[in-house]
């Protein structure tokens, strides 16, 4: 019941973006600008404020998180590679879109409020730390599924200098240096200044969830419902919402780890397709109709599948 209420709260924020786009309060350009501000400024602020709440001991204890998230993603890709041959005669663009949906799900912005509700700021920090695994796959295998070899090299290198990834590296570096130098505490004025800065970053980063849900709702407002009719869209939805969770969740139960980390990985495993798939399709000329259809279908069915799977697993 709690998960259902949490998802309804998220849906309410998405609906706000949906109606804002329908009523003309948000345009395509405005949605794009919101996404850029969120990814370039607001989300990095959340990363820094969240990750720096961790301790070096937390990083050591949960060092396997990025590898385990990569395992979740590669499980989906493996299922996709097994079943892509059954799609019949489809274009290469459709096959690649199918595999991208199987590989990358909504690993961060949609689970973010669920993790915050259940595990608090520390859970958010661990989720962000775990997302490193998905980021590496997104900007390597994910890019390769859409782009030429030359584009893959250029964009993969550029992504290493993206604000969110740099903020993550900076946050981890701060945690390591802070704890290694704990025997020599800084002056009181410096500690107070750092505290004020962290509060400011936390206040700015708190807008990440609201902005990302508004952007998602705005993009849903222009998706065509006709795109969810094809059986191939339903196949990728079944892989994403049922196949991956039913394979991954029992395995997570057998791996020794902190219960908070296990819960976070479980939440990530049951998530629908990634919003970034639309951006990748628009950027590289993929099968936009298939991408949009699978995106819409998995998010609609997630309203049922996510509460059921999380109630079973957690």
Of 13, 5, 4, 37, nearest to 220 by C-alpha is 13
- Nearest Cα neighbor of 141 from 155, 130, 131 is 155
Map residue 33 onto helix, strand or coil: helix
| Mean pLDDT, all residues of the chain | 84
Which pLDDT value is given to residue 158? Answer: 61
State the CATH number of the domain containing residue 32: 1.20.1530
- Cβ neighbours, 10 Å, residue 199: 11
Question: What whole-number percentage of the chain has pLDDT above 90?
Answer: 28
Q: In the chain, which residue ranges form alpha helices assigned H by DSSP?
A: 2-22, 28-37, 43-51, 56-61, 65-83, 92-103, 111-137, 143-146, 149-159, 163-180, 188-205, 207-220, 231-238, 244-252, 259-269, 276-284, 288-313
Residue 15: CB atoms within 10 Å: 14
* Residue ranges making up the domain that contains 115: 2-313
- pLDDT for res 108: 83
Q: Which residue has the higher pLDDT, 130 or 12?
A: 130
Q: What is the pLDDT of residues 57-100, one digit of tens each?
A: 888 888 899 999 999 999 999 999 999 988 888 888 888 889 99
The total number of structural domains that make up the chain: 1
- Look up the pTM and report it: 0.80
When pLDDT is averaged across residues 232-253 and rounded to a whole number, the result is: 95
pLDDT at 89: 82
Distance, in Å, from the CA atom of 212 to the CA atom of 276, rounded to the nearest integer, reads 11
Q: What are phi and psi of 134, to 5 degrees?
A: -65, -40
Q: Tokens 């969740």 — which residue?
A: 249
Give the span between the Cα atoms of 15 and 300, in whole angstroms. Answer: 12
pLDDT at 192: 80
The encoded tokens of residue 104 equal 């990358």
> What is the pLDDT, as a whole number, of residue 154?
55
pLDDT at 74: 96
| Residue with the larger pLDDT of the pair 187 and 265 | 265
């Amino acid at each position: 019941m709690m998960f259902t209420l949490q998802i309804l709260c998220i849906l309410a924020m998405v609906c706000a973006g949906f109606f804002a786009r329908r009523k003309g309060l948000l345009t395509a350009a405005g949605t794009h600008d919101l996404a850029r501000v969120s990814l370039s400024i607001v989300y990095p602020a959340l990363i820094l404020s969240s990750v720096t709440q961790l301790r070096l001991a937390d990083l050591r204890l949960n060092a396997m998180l990025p590898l385990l998230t990569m395992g979740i993603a590669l499980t989906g890709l493996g299922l996709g590679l097994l079943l892509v041959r059954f799609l019949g005669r489809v274009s290469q663009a459709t096959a690649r879109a199918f595999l991208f949906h199987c590989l990358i799900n909504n690993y961060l912005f949609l689970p973010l409020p669920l993790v915050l509700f259940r595990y608090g700021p520390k859970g958010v920090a661990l989720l962000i730390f775990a997302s490193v695994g998905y980021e590496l796959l997104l900007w390597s295998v994910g890019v390769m599924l859409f782009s030429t070899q030359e584009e893959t090299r250029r964009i993969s290198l550029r992504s290493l200098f993206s604000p969110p990834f740099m903020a993550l590296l900076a946050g981890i570096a701060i945690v390591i240096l802070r704890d290694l130098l704990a025997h020599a505490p800084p002056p009181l004025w410096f500690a107070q200044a750092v505290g004020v800065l962290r509060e400011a970053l936390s206040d700015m980063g708190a807008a990440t969830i609201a902005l990302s849900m508004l952007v998602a709702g705005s993009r849903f407002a222009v998706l065509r419902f006709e795109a969810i009719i094809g059986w191939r869209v339903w196949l990728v939805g079944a892989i994403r919402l049922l196949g991956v969770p039913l394979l991954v969740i029992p395995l997570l139960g057998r791996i020794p780890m902190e219960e908070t980390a296990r819960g976070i990985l479980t939440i990530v495993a049951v998530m629908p397709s990634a919003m970034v798939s639309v951006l990748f399709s628009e950027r590289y000329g993929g099968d936009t109709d298939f991408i949009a259809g699978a995106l819409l279908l998995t998010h609609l069915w997630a309203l049922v599948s996510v509460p059921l799977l999380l109630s079973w697993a957690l």
